[in-house]
């Protein structure tokens, strides 16, 4: 009896050790099958456990081990959509834990020319697609409630880096951008805009032209002053970047590069053509950076109403208060462009 009892104890001990070994292997040994130190996986909204399996299978050594742990921890009944970080060498237990932690995206954008381009960029970084984003941003109820139009709602998006979840809805993202926009427009900035007799959207529209005219921070307040002087005097802005925007819009080609505005271009029939139309275009022609916006709000006071590119200090401009002086400056630039053989 004693021998039998010892045998039974030994057998149970062996069974227990095997059980512990199996559990250890399933819980604590590496179950990853990728070479990178870490990868992100995206689980779409509405996914079930079978969808998760399809996504994870190529990345794991043993899907059965993952499934065993997942069921033990009730993961199949609690699937989360989002973006999840997996690290090389993770065990099945760690992988299940990782699939519960939605990791935010650091979403960055700048230098976008129009809302469609922005939506394309955003859709590469978050779950909603380009069509959904565009429709949400131009929703008529939202526009009316917040004082935007489909042409100027682009002004709401300020270039920056934002932390959001990959599976954020288009509506929640739009509302977050509105909050950021309202936060940007402090009392001090609104007061400065009012002193210029401009709304925040109009300030951003002017800033978009300034942004396109020059990357030189020191020049931007001077250029902004030129356009504000023209607005005050009721003169057309005659801003070449608005004509370039009109040409791209007409051609439905925002990838084309236009280095020179030709005489015939000035007659294009478009609300964005500030040679033909007095006042501001319907909305921003680009996404201005904060420096350009503040350049408008803190525009230099002077009597300049003309400027053109300098041929002596490349990247900068020369300014004039009279048409006669501007003609001299413009001829220098035109002659230089002709020598370079720049026809477009």
What is the pLDDT at residue 14? 58
Which strand (E) or helix (H) includes residue 214? Answer: none
Neighbours of 117 (CB within 10 A): 18
d(CA 31, CA 216) in angstroms, rounded, equals 53
**Could you give the residue range(s) of every CATH 3.30.1490.480 domain in the chain?**
2-98
9 token code pair: 């104890």
Of 81, 189, 67, the residue nearest 126 (C-alpha): 81
First to last CA, the chain: 103
In CATH terms, is domain 2-98 a member of 3.30.1490.480? yes
The model's pTM is 0.87
Per-residue pLDDT in tens (0 to 9) along the chain, 344 residues = 555 666 666 665 555 445 555 655 556 688 899 999 999 999 999 999 999 999 999 999 999 999 999 999 999 999 999 999 999 999 999 999 999 999 999 999 999 999 999 999 999 999 999 999 999 999 999 999 999 999 999 999 999 999 999 999 999 999 999 999 999 999 999 999 999 999 999 999 999 999 999 999 999 999 999 999 999 999 999 999 999 999 999 999 999 999 889 999 999 999 999 999 999 999 999 999 999 999 999 999 999 999 998 888 888 999 999 999 999 888 888 888 888 877 66
Residues 172/137, Cβ–Cβ less than 8 Å:
no
Of 199, 157, 207, the residue nearest 179 (C-alpha): 157
234 token code pair: 């009721």
Which strand (E) or helix (H) includes residue 324? Answer: helix 323-340
What is the pLDDT at residue 259? 87
Q: What size, in residues, is the chain?
A: 344
What is the pLDDT at residue 13? 57
Cα-based torsion angle of the residue sequence 130, 131, 136, 140 in order, rounded to the nearest 10 degrees? 140
222 token code pair: 């001077």
Backbone angles phi, psi at 61, to 5 degrees: -75, -45
Residues 236/274, Cβ–Cβ less than 8 Å:
yes
What is the pLDDT at residue 335? 82
d(CA 295, CA 224) in angstroms, rounded, equals 7
d(CA 50, CA 314) in angstroms, rounded, equals 60
Of 76, 91, 99, the residue nearest 28 (C-alpha): 91
d(CA 61, CA 32) in angstroms, rounded, equals 6
Of 61, 109, 97, 100, the residue nearest 78 (C-alpha): 100
E-assigned strands of the chain? 38-43, 82-87, 105-109, 160-164, 306-309, 317-320
Residues 81/41, Cβ–Cβ less than 8 Å:
no
- The set of residues, in sequence order, having a beta carbon less than 8 Å from that of 307 and lying 6+ positions away, is 222, 223, 226, 317, 318, 319, 320, 326, 329
């Amino acid at each position: 009896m004693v021998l039998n009892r010892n045998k039974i104890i030994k057998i149970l001990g062996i069974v227990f050790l095997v059980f512990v070994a199996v559990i250890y292997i399933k819980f604590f040994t590496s179950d990853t099958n990728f070479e990178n130190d870490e990868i992100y996986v995206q689980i779409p909204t509405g996914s079930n456990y079978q969808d998760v399996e399809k996504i994870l299978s190529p990345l794991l050594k043993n899907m059965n081990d993952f499934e065993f742990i997942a069921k033990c921890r009730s993961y199949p009944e609690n699937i989360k959509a989002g973006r999840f970080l997996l690290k090389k060498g993770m065990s099945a237990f760690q992988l299940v834990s990782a699939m519960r932690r939605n990791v935010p995206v650091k979403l960055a954008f700048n230098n976008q020319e129009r809302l469609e381009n922005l939506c394309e960029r955003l859709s590469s970084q978050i779950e909603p697609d380009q069509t959904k984003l565009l429709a949400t941003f131009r929703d008529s109820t939202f526009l009316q409630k917040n004082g935007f139009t489909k042409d100027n709602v682009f002004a709401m998006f300020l270039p920056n880096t934002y932390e959001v979840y990959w599976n954020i809805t288009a509506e929640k993202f739009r509302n977050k951008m509105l909050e950021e926009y309202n936060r940007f427009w402090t009392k001090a900035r609104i007061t400065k805009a009012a002193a210029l007799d401009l709304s925040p959207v109009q300030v951003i529209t002017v800033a978009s032209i300034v942004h396109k005219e020059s990357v030189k921070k020191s020049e931007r307040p001077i250029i902004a002053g030129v356009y504000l002087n023209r607005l005050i005097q009721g003169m057309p802005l005659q801003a070449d970047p608005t004509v370039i925007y009109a040409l791209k819009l007409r051609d439905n080609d925002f990838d084309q590069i236009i280095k020179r505005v030709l005489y015939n271009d000035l007659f294009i029939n478009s609300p964005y053509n500030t040679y033909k139309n007095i006042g501001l275009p319907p909305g921003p022609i680009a996404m201005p950076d904060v420096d350009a916006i503040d350049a408008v709000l803190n525009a230099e006071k002077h009597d300049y109403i003309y400027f053109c590119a300098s041929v002596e200090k490349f990247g900068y401009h020369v300014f004039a208060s009279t048409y006669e002086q501007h003609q001299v400056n413009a001829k220098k630039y035109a002659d230089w462009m002709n020598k370079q053989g720049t026809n477009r």
